[in-house]
Chains A and B, each alone.
Chain A
């Protein structure tokens, strides 16, 4: 290949490279916090990923609680369920879902948000309600178990907690129509994730996995505008440090 051909080949690749390095939209970065990664969570997982993990942990612990031999053992397992469901410090399921909804809401209020995201954000925020309610109930019943001195009562409550954790994971069939998770009042993490994925799939231009640099360097200015921390000043959604 002569020199001219090589230069032409190189020039033909440039536009492609330009597309790859073009920054994502601010709205998509917020969606990426829910979906892919965010720097505050354990393992920097996205909030929905954390929600899925916590829902699985809660259900596993509730199954262990059901087979606990002693009241003390049962109480320990239920305490684990409660932490996985509603701990704020440990990004429990409830907290992770609320944060995911917050970031979808941030996406919707970004200047570059698509109509699709603007319409979907309030629906998504509304649809986490049933899961949040179950997490609240798990916490309340968990307190009852912690205070109970009756093995029988604690076992009965643990059984109810198990139903709630399973519903949070897979959804439930409230209206007994044979369909699990058919309506938002029946949603678990599975259906919520599907709703989110459907919203992402509707994006035009399409949503592409956001590079971690963008995910971890989004900053909110005092004016309310979102920018990337290109000068590496350090900051977060509250603004530059």
Chain B
């Protein structure tokens, strides 16, 4: 009961706004406003037409227009009571709208403040992203996110964000200092990643790694190597697959993918596609056919696997033709060999092996 009483004034105001004067001023006048406008144009001294127009404008949420209509009427009709009452109402509605807009802004501002606070004080990167989604060009938010990334020991990610901050505020010397600090930290991590060993090296690599940043491929490859050394084959395979996406032609990465996909026995579509691509890189088109076919069968939407499969099939055919041609040459040369030897059939190239999509991945394929 108390709640009902307490909310009555608010509900009243909201209901008045919601039902009678909902939303923004309509761009096209309603039929009522249009008719009243015409009547008033025909006779500008017609108080009744003026009041009807003001009522229609208020109903259309066009409070500024209604105030204008009524203030014009003041010059003609003086302090007419009806006119003054409507003028008060229109002015009140206009104030009320800005009042509710103010409350909405307060709510929005609180959300941003909360995200900023969590971003700044707790290095909560999700909160930074939320704040940035609401205010993408707010320099405070951009710097706060970069600071949070620094706190999370991700200087390379922070670097990119500080650069964005510098674009927004080129004269801010604190940003330059932060950029420099992030750059130094990023270089130190890269050195530790490449030159140390074991867990410290792995941690340094993971901190230094940033999508799209310089040395990303080398770092991924190094992470894979370190994970393999730390007996984490699954994680290592993932790292090598990620590296292969950046540089598909790297043969050492391709060898690691083939080896690790065999030893882990993983046969998900992504792994099979990566294995097929790696085998292609290693010039083993015939061997690449099976995992690529399996990958496409498992996930037909994998576009890269489909392209690689077509490539593998082309190369395999070319290879088969080469072998066949080679045997034909051998056969021609065979005309000069003794007849006794010619009675033996010339072994032509073996037909391409039949592969089943359902065949499990094993050491032989």
Contact = CB atoms under 8 A, between A and B. Distances in A.
B339 interface: no
B200 interface: no
A93 to B, nearest CB: 13
A105 B95 contact: yes
Interface stretch (A15-23, A62-70, A128-136, A174-182): A128-136
A109 B92 contact: yes
B2 A89 contact: yes
B118 interface: yes
A238 B6 CA distance: 12
B19 interface: no
A237 B12 contact: yes
A156 B99 contact: no
Taking residues whose C-beta sits less than 8 angstroms from the other chain, chain A's interface range is: 35 or more
Contacts of B5: 39-40, 236
A160 B95 contact: no
Given A88-B7, A137-B110, A156-B121, A126 B98 contact: yes
A62 to B, nearest CB: 15
Interface in A4-35: none
B169 interface: no
B110 A103 contact: no
A238 B106 contact: no
A98 B100 CA distance: 10
Interface in A105-129: 105-106, 108-109, 111, 118, 121-122, 125-126, 129
A129 B9 contact: no
B88 interface: yes
B96 interface: yes
A137 B113 contact: yes
A83 interface: no
Contacts of B3: 88-89
Contact of A88 (B6, B88, B99, B117): B6
A105 B107 contact: no
A140 B95 contact: no
A95 interface: yes
A53 interface: no
Q: Is the interface of A mostly helix, strand, loop or mixed?
A: helix
A108 B5 CA distance: 21
Given A88-B3, A126-B102, A137-B114, A99 B107 contact: no
Contact of A102 (B13, B105, B113): B13
Interface in A131-165: 132-134, 136-137, 139-141, 144, 153, 156, 160
Contacts of A108: 92, 95
A133 B109 CA distance: 7
Interface in B70-103: 85, 88-89, 91-92, 95-96, 98-99, 102-103
Contacts of A139: 110
Contact of A89 (B6, B102, B105): B6
Contact of A236 (B2, B8, B96, B118): B8
A129 B122 contact: no
A188 to B, nearest CB: 15
Nearest to A108: B92
B10 interface: yes
A238 B111 CA distance: 34
Contacts of B113: 133, 137
Given A133-B106, A133-B113, A137-B114, A101 B99 contact: yes
A106 B6 CA distance: 15
A102 B95 CA distance: 11
Contacts of B109: 133, 136
A91 interface: yes
A141 B6 contact: no
Contacts of A105: 13, 92, 95-96, 99
A125 B122 contact: no
A156 B114 CA distance: 13
A156 to B, nearest CB: 6
A116 B99 CA distance: 18
Top 9 closest pairs, chain A to chain B, by CB: A136-B110, A40-B5, A133-B106, A137-B110, A102-B9, A122-B95, A140-B114, A132-B106, A125-B99
Interface of A: 39-41, 88-89, 91, 95, 98-99, 101-103, 105-106, 108-109, 111, 118, 121-122, 125-126, 129-130, 132-134, 136-137, 139-141, 144, 153, 156, 160, 224, 236-238
28 contacts: A39-B5, A40-B6, A40-B8, A41-B6, A98-B103, A108-B92, A109-B89, A111-B85, A121-B95, A122-B95, A122-B98, A125-B99, A126-B102, A129-B102, A129-B105, A129-B106, A132-B103, A132-B107, A133-B107, A133-B110, A136-B110, A137-B114, A139-B110, A140-B111, A144-B114, A160-B117, A237-B9, A237-B12
